[in-house]
Amino acid sequence: MAGQDITIQGKDGSFSAYLARPSTGHGPGIVVIQEIFGVNAVMRQVADDLAARGFFALAPDLFWRLKPGVQLTDQTDAEWQQAFGLMKQFNPDTGVADIQATIDTLRKMPGVNGKVGAVGYCLGGLLAYLTAARTDADAAVGYYGVNIQEKLAEAGGIKHPLMLHMAEADQFVPPPAQEKILAGLKGNPLVTIHRYPEMNHAFARPGGKHYDKACADLANTRTQTFFRQHLS
C-alpha cells in the first residue's frame, strides 16, 4: 500500500507528515524522526519498510517552521550546506512538541493498538533520546544521535525503553562525546546502547557514503525486535 501525506494539528500550527499503513490495517504506531535532509525519499522508505513489517509509520515534517516540505539528498555539497543551515536554525524543543503531536495523532488513528514508538536518525537520533525523556512514547530508538552528550541532564526523565545505536568512528560524535554519553546513561535499566566498531555516521542510510549493509541490517534487526517486544 502506497503511503500518503497527511496533516497533523500541533499546538503551534499544522504541518505535513508522511503516513505508511500496514496492509493488515492494524498494529502499533511508530514516529519516524527525520535526518537533517527533511522527510525525503530515505525517510519515506524507512516508513514504508516499517509498514511492511506491520507498523503504522508516520514521519512528521519537523522543519515546517523554517521551510515546509524539505526533501534534500546527501548527494551534493549544496544540499549538505542547506541541510546544515536548517539544523543550525532548528529548535529541538519545538521539534519534540511536534513529535508529541505526532504520537497523539497515531494513537487516535483507526487500527493503531494504542502503543506508539519512535525511531530517529542523526538529528532524529538526538530527538529520539529527547522523545524518550519528554514524551509519552512507549519506546524509542536513536541511530547515531548528535549532541546527546549535551542533554544528559534529561536522562532522569526517561520512563520507557530507549535503544541507541552508536557508530564508534562517528565524525560528528567524537570519542569524548561518546564516552560522556556512555557514562551518563550507564546503569539506567531502560537504556540499551549498541556500539558498532569502525562505523561512521549514517552507516544505516542506504546510498550514503558510509552505508554498511551488514551493520545496518544488524541495527535494523535489533530495532525491529525491540519494537516488537515493547509495542505489541
Spatial distance between the Cα atoms of 14 and 12, rounded to a whole number of angstroms: 7
Give one DSSP letter per residue of 26-38, joined into a string.
Answer: -EEEEEEE-BTTB
| pLDDT tens-place string over residues 2-57 | 799 999 999 999 999 999 999 999 999 999 999 999 999 999 999 999 999 999 99
Sign of CA dihedral 77, 63, 228, 2: negative
pLDDT at residue 31, rounded to an integer? 98
| pLDDT tens-place string over residues 108-138 | 999 999 999 999 999 999 999 999 999 999 9
Domain ranges for the chain: 4-231
Catalytic residues: 170, 201
Beta strands of 122-200 (E only): which ranges?
139-143, 162-167, 191-196
pLDDT at residue 1, rounded to an integer? 57
Class of domain 4-231: alpha beta
CA terminus-to-terminus distance, the chain: 22
Cα within 13 Å of Cα(39), Cβ side: 27
